[in-house]
Chain A
Amino acid sequence: MEQIKDFINIISAPQISFTAIILLFFFIFPPNDLFYKIHRGLRIHKLWTKGGGITIFSFLTIFFIFGITDQNFRMIVTKPDNVPIVALLYLVVFFLWFSLKQAYDNDKRIDEGKGPNEAEDAKQKVLVWPDLVYIELIAMVSVAALLLVWAVALGAPLEEPANPTVSPNPSKAPWYFLGLQEMLVYFDPWIAGVLFPTVIMLGFISIPFLDNNRKGSGYFTFKERKMAISIFLFFWLVLWIFLITTGTFLRGPNWNFFGPFEYWDKHKLVALTNVNLSELFYMVWQNKQLPSNILLREMPGFLLVGAYLGLLPLILAKTLFKKVYERLGPIRYSVFIIFLLIAISLPIKMYLRWGFNIKYLVSIPEFFFNI
């Protein structure tokens, strides 16, 4: 028992769990034909069948039942404000399975030349009254009932009265912003709090204009839009839902990381001594003083960021993303790649922090400008 818990505590550390998820991700949600072949070869597509669904849910439920016997785990999961996140986990996993099952069924039908299930249904017309109205009525009544039961069972939490001089430890943002709060650990507020939300919003709005694949409109399919679905799910599942889960369940006092079965010790010591790239570049590698000129001091960082956003898109257009570039054309490709690179900078910064204790690539605290 204890060994299993210790093991889970260790592998849930973001360094390990995040890496594992990223490595597995592209085999579970293959972005191109190559990965798709491996995905089929490894029979991962069986996840999106009835048997696969039962397996996924059994695992999830066994984990929660097993976990609830642990005092620390129980304390976090049953906190009233965390209940929606447990629900969210179940709902996201369910609907992920539900949509992909239909998508894979449809893919099979399309391969057989039959067209998607939805097309079959669409041949028949029904009247809103009563065929739609009764579904809406059932849905509304069940949600109203659910809310009533929920409200009776769990009181809305209320903490101590506001006190501007004492921050609770840990202080957490509303759960749907915990993804952003997790980003704040790795980035400066102007990036995590202003730039990223803006980019996320604009990125979402631009999806229909970037995705010029006309297939797969109005029915579930995976095979016809592998890349679009893979990229979307990467951001939605890994960089949003996963970060929210980490922030809710695994971030404890002093924003230290705690395994799901670990006691929230306020005095847990975690060495977090971080250095800036400029310090690393001049003081560690060259054994020199930091130059007093700010621009000179931060030149390595500027060059690196400039190359990342300026050169990398060009290189990628000729190599890895050649086909994508051909399909999208220069304008769509530029917008797409800039959004993608900004988003991917989050995991990159995470690894720089974990691997090299890098705090900032460009650090000009004199002007509040840090990257």
Chain B
Amino acid sequence: MAEDHSNVTNHKRTEDKNVQPTLDQPIDRRSFIKWASIGWAAFAAGLAGYGTIILRYLFPNVLFEPKQSFRAGFPKEYTVGEVSENLKDKYGVWIVRDSEKIYALATVCTHLGCTPNWMPNENKYKCPCHGSGFYKNGINFEGPAPRPLERYKISLNDDGEIVIDKTKKFQQEKGEWKDPDSYLMA
């Protein structure tokens, strides 16, 4: 109560135009709270607005990245039991043909995105960055990779040629390798 009282008297004194307010005179509490909250709210709103604009600015609507789907020759070009590295450099896929299926493995390590090397003698893909190893079918078995390599959508076009679409991925741990789009019966 005593505090309030002194505030009121101070307030009255400032209204008297002959008396200059001194530096250590407290500001009226009610108007302080009012102006402070308006000030902070405006500041926060401004910050949030600019923050949103800047954040959204980092994500453009159009991306100029290479085409994501391509043709990969005819199924008969691939030998049973072998890993084809022909398209690795250009499109980043291995085409693997086993006794019944053909599928396209992404050449991107699921650990941190390095490109593993196919080592025919050891019958595995080995990543040079942190030593992850994958079996021929893409299942991880050593090193830090947390999950198997991803497979891309693979299909035949009207001419009987293989078409691979990199925009659609299939992950084994989600059970997606059973999806008929993820392999070709050969």
The answer on direct contact between A and B (beta carbons under 8 Å) is: yes
Q: Which A positions have Cβ atoms within 8 angstroms of B?
A: 163-171, 181, 184-189, 193, 253-256, 267, 269-274, 359-360, 363, 365-366, 368, 370
Q: Which of B17-25, B50-58, B96-104, B140-148 contacts A (4 or more CB under 8 A)?
A: B140-148
Q: Which of B88, B114, B117, B133 contacts A272 (CB 8 A)?
A: B133
Tell me, rounded to whole Å, the shortest Cβ–Cβ distance linking A360 to chain B: 7
Decide: B131 and A272 in contact? CB cutoff 8 A.
yes
Decide: B92 and A255 in contact? CB cutoff 8 A.
no
Tell me, rounded to whole Å, the shortest Cβ–Cβ distance linking A289 to chain B: 16
Q: What would 29 A/B residue contacts be, using CB atoms closer than 8 Å? A: A163-B89, A165-B107, A166-B89, A167-B116, A169-B117, A170-B129, A171-B128, A181-B129, A184-B112, A185-B130, A185-B131, A185-B144, A186-B144, A193-B112, A253-B128, A254-B126, A254-B131, A255-B128, A255-B130, A271-B142, A272-B133, A272-B142, A273-B142, A274-B141, A363-B146, A365-B146, A365-B147, A366-B174, A370-B146
Decide: B127 and A254 in contact? CB cutoff 8 A.
yes
Tell me, rounded to whole Å, the shortest Cβ–Cβ distance linking B63 to chain A: 15
Decide: A168 and B128 in contact? CB cutoff 8 A.
yes
**Which B residues from 38 to 71 make CB contacts under 8 A with A?**
none
Residues of B with C-beta under 8 A to A370: 146
Decide: A165 and B92 in contact? CB cutoff 8 A.
yes
List of 4 A-B pairs having minimum Cβ-Cβ separation, nearest first: A255-B131, A169-B128, A272-B142, A365-B147
Tell me, rounded to whole Å, the shortest Cβ–Cβ distance linking A114 to chain B: 48
Given known pairs A165-B89, A165-B115, the reply for A267 and B129 (CB within 8 Å) is: no
Residues of A with C-beta under 8 A to B92: 164-165
Count, A-B residue pairs, CB within 8 A: 80
Residues of A with C-beta under 8 A to B111: 184, 189
**Which B residues from 81 to 126 make CB contacts under 8 A with A?**
88-90, 92, 107, 111-112, 114-117, 119, 121-122, 126
Contact with A along B147-174 (1 / 0, CB 8 A): 1000000000000000000000000011
Dominant SS among interface residues on chain B: loop
Q: With CB as the reference atom, state the residue of chain B lying closest to A366.
A: B173
Residues of B with C-beta under 8 A to A163: 89
- Given contacts A164-B115, A186-B144, list 19 more A-B pairs with CB under 8 A: A165-B115, A169-B128, A170-B128, A170-B129, A171-B114, A184-B112, A184-B144, A185-B131, A253-B128, A254-B128, A254-B131, A255-B129, A255-B143, A267-B119, A267-B122, A273-B141, A360-B146, A365-B173, A368-B146
Tell me, rounded to whole Å, the shortest Cβ–Cβ distance linking B99 to chain A: 25
Q: Which of B119, B122, B130 contacts A184 (CB 8 A)?
A: B130
Decide: B146 and A272 in contact? CB cutoff 8 A.
no
Q: Which of A166, A170, A269 contacts B122 (CB 8 A)?
A: A269
Q: With CB as the reference atom, state the residue of chain B lying closest to A172.
A: B129
Residues of A with C-beta under 8 A to B128: 167-171, 253-255
Tell me, rounded to whole Å, the shortest Cβ–Cβ distance linking B66 to chain A: 10
Tell me, rounded to whole Å, the shortest Cβ–Cβ distance linking A41 to chain B: 43
Number of interface residues of B (CB under 8 A): 29
Residues of B with C-beta under 8 A to A185: 130-131, 143-144
Q: With CB as the reference atom, state the residue of chain A lying closest to B109.
A: A167
Residues of B with C-beta under 8 A to A166: 89, 115
CA distance A1 to B183 in the complex (A): 56
Decide: B146 and A171 in contact? CB cutoff 8 A.
no
Q: With CB as the reference atom, state the residue of chain B lying closest to A189.
A: B112
Residues of B with C-beta under 8 A to A255: 127-131, 143
CA distance A266 to B135 in the complex (A): 18
Residues of B with C-beta under 8 A to A165: 88-90, 92, 107, 115
CA distance A272 to B173 in the complex (A): 21
CA distance A253 to B133 in the complex (A): 13
CA distance A244 to B80 in the complex (A): 44
Residues of A with C-beta under 8 A to B130: 181, 184-185, 255
Residues of A with C-beta under 8 A to B147: 365
Decide: A167 and B114 in contact? CB cutoff 8 A.
yes
Residues of B with C-beta under 8 A to A184: 111-112, 130, 144
Given known pairs A167-B127, A167-B129, A254-B128, the reply for A188 and B144 (CB within 8 Å) is: yes
Given known pairs A165-B92, A166-B115, A184-B111, the reply for A272 and B129 (CB within 8 Å) is: no
Q: With CB as the reference atom, state the residue of chain A lying closest to B119.
A: A267
Decide: B144 and A167 in contact? CB cutoff 8 A.
no
Residues of B with C-beta under 8 A to A254: 126-128, 131
